[in-house]
Amino acid sequence: MAADGGLLAARRQKDLLHFLTCGSVDDGKSTLIGRLLYDCSLVLDDQLATLQRESRRSGTAAGGLDFSLLLDGLEDERQQKITIDVAYRFFATQERAFAVADTPGHEQYTRNMATGASTCELAVILVDARKGVLPQTKRHAYINALLGVRHLVLAVNKMDLVGFDEHCFEEIATQFAAFAAGLGNPSVRAIPLSARSGDNVTTRSAHMPWYQGPTLLEHLRSIEVASGERPIRFPVQWVNRPNGEFRGFSGTVVSGSIAPGDEVLVAGAGRTARVKEIVSFDGALAGAAEGDAVTLTLDREIDIARGDLLADPRDRPECVDQFAAHVI
């Protein structure tokens, strides 16, 4: 519980970056996140002892630690050596807090990858240096673009298996950049690394002196992903009325920020009220921002039901009865 409390405190005090790892099957996504957690000293002693035991039992790491076992918790995942479900991990450095989604690479579980990407601001797309850019690599990049993920990291993994060859890395980076240009020109940072041995993950690799860019962790800590303030949008998920004295509206802020005293509009109905209080599990808050799950109370009684949308009256959402969309 203390560790969870520390993570919650870090989440509120620091900038939080949501990112995911994706790419084709067996490109090292789970291993990369496990290595990140290990190198950041975020693996507890009992977890490390279990990891050592499980690594010896699985025999997939040639006597070393199989970092993927920190993420692949389902027995089917361990038996098949693939990720099936989305695994979420939270960690923090001095500069920033992180919420990372480890998503499956197998084509059969692409829907789970899309679920993980739906809440992220940055995607780490892994490529096996021996195989290069594969159809699933492009598919995952395209899905990220559809979902509005504008920052991509091309992590060319397993560089140790190609002798840390610079030409191999440059060829893959050039090929992916040409493809990404057709996705609306997202920002792309290519990083050569070896997740298993830790090269360019959190520390600079002595095996690749030709690479002068940041390590993966340096890039994650420094990248600016803010796209400017968006208007408040708060879908009501539940009318919270535990007794006759309290009536609040629970949900998650999907864009913008809100504070007590702000005026909100019930979209569609057109009624307005002011926020009286913002309530969370930890008590009243001075404000709430995108991603926060809170309960709002208002200064007057108006008819609001589950499914209603609270919005900024100065920037009303457009109401339509027809729309076009890409469906994943």
Helices (H), the chain: 2-13, 29-39, 45-58, 75-80, 110-117, 135-146, 166-180, 216-222
In this prediction, residue 3 carries a pLDDT of 44
Which CATH number belongs to the domain containing residue 116 in this structure?
3.40.50.300
In this prediction, residue 75 carries a pLDDT of 43
The residue ranking higher by pLDDT, 52 or 240, is 240
241 and 115 in a common domain: no
In this prediction, residue 63 carries a pLDDT of 55
239 and 299 in a common domain: yes
Q: Indicate the residue among 188, 222, 256 that finishes a domain.
A: 222
Query: Are residues 279 and 248 in contact, defined by beta-carbon separation less than 8 angstroms?
Result: yes
CB atoms within 10 A of CB 217: 19
In a domain, 29, yes or no: yes
The residue ranking higher by pLDDT, 181 or 46, is 181
In a domain, 100, yes or no: yes
Q: What is the rounded distance in angstroms from the CA atom of residue 151 to the CA atom of residue 187?
A: 5
Q: What is the rounded distance in angstroms from the CA atom of residue 67 to the CA atom of residue 5?
A: 25
In this prediction, residue 70 carries a pLDDT of 65
136 and 43 in a common domain: yes
246 and 216 in a common domain: no
Which CATH number belongs to the domain containing residue 278 in this structure?
2.40.30.10
In a domain, 327, yes or no: no
- Residue 199 is given by DSSP the state B
Instruction: Name the region of 310 (left: φ>0; alpha: ψ -120 to 50; beta: rest).
Output: beta
pLDDT bucket at 135, cuts 50 / 70 / 90 = very high
- Inform me whether the pLDDT recorded for 90 exceeds 90: no
Q: What is the mean pLDDT of residues 253-273?
A: 92
In a domain, 303, yes or no: yes
Q: Which of 19-33, 40-54, 119-133 has the lowest mean pLDDT?
A: 40-54
Query: Are residues 203 and 214 in contact, defined by beta-carbon separation less than 8 angstroms?
Result: no
pLDDT bucket at 77, cuts 50 / 70 / 90 = very low
Q: What is the mean pLDDT of residues 250-263?
A: 94
Burial of residue 79 (CB within 10 Å: 0-12, 13-18, 19+) is: exposed
- Inform me whether the pLDDT recorded for 291 exceeds 50: yes
Q: Indicate the residue among 222, 243, 261 that finishes a domain.
A: 222
Q: Closest by alpha carbon to 83, among 61, 102, 107?
A: 102
In a domain, 109, yes or no: yes
Q: What is the rounded distance in angstroms from the CA atom of residue 328 to the CA atom of residue 326?
A: 7
200 and 239 in a common domain: no
- Residue 195 is given by DSSP the state T
Q: Which domain holds residue 290?
A: 233-311
Q: Which two tokens stand for residue 136?
A: 């699933």
Total structural domains within the chain: 2
206 and 69 in a common domain: yes
Q: What is the mean pLDDT of residues 146-175?
A: 96
Q: What is the mean pLDDT of residues 182-189?
A: 92
Helices 135-146 and 166-180: angle between axes, nearest 10 degrees: 40
- Residue 318 is given by DSSP the state P
Q: What is the rounded distance in angstroms from the CA atom of residue 193 to the CA atom of residue 216?
A: 8
Q: How many helices (H) and strands (E) does the chain have?
A: 8, 15
In this prediction, residue 261 carries a pLDDT of 95
Q: What is the mean pLDDT of residues 266-290?
A: 91
Burial of residue 30 (CB within 10 Å: 0-12, 13-18, 19+) is: buried
287 and 210 in a common domain: no
In this prediction, residue 74 carries a pLDDT of 41
Q: Closest by alpha carbon to 8, among 297, 303, 282?
A: 282
Q: What is the mean pLDDT of residues 176-185?
A: 93
Q: What is the rounded distance in angstroms from the CA atom of residue 177 to the CA atom of residue 182?
A: 9
Q: What is the rounded distance in angstroms from the CA atom of residue 259 to the CA atom of residue 294?
A: 11
Q: What is the mean pLDDT of residues 235-260?
A: 92
302 and 188 in a common domain: no
User: What tens digit of pLDDT does each residue of 194-237 get?
Assistant: 998 899 999 999 999 999 999 999 999 999 876 567 899 999 99
264 and 122 in a common domain: no
Q: Which of 102-116, 141-155, 207-221, 235-249 has the lowest mean pLDDT?
A: 102-116
Q: What is the rounded distance in angstroms from the CA atom of residue 46 to the CA atom of residue 250?
A: 37
pLDDT bucket at 245, cuts 50 / 70 / 90 = confident
Q: What is the mean pLDDT of residues 286-299?
A: 92
In a domain, 318, yes or no: no
Our measurement of the distance from residue 91's CA atom to the centroid of its chain's CA atoms, rounded to an integer in Å, reads 12
pTM of the model: 0.73
In a domain, 227, yes or no: no
Q: What is the rounded distance in angstroms from the CA atom of residue 141 to the CA atom of residue 134?
A: 11
In this prediction, residue 224 carries a pLDDT of 86
How far lies 130's CA from each of 20, 188, 216, in Å? 22, 21, 20
In this prediction, residue 5 carries a pLDDT of 46
8 and 39 in a common domain: yes
Q: Closest by alpha carbon to 299, among 250, 256, 251, 249?
A: 249
- Inform me whether the pLDDT recorded for 192 exceeds 50: yes
Query: Are residues 151 and 122 in contact, defined by beta-carbon separation less than 8 angstroms?
Result: yes
269 and 123 in a common domain: no
In a domain, 213, yes or no: yes
The residue ranking higher by pLDDT, 256 or 85, is 256
Q: Indicate the residue among 172, 203, 222 that finishes a domain.
A: 222
Percent of the chain with pLDDT over 70: 83
237 and 166 in a common domain: no
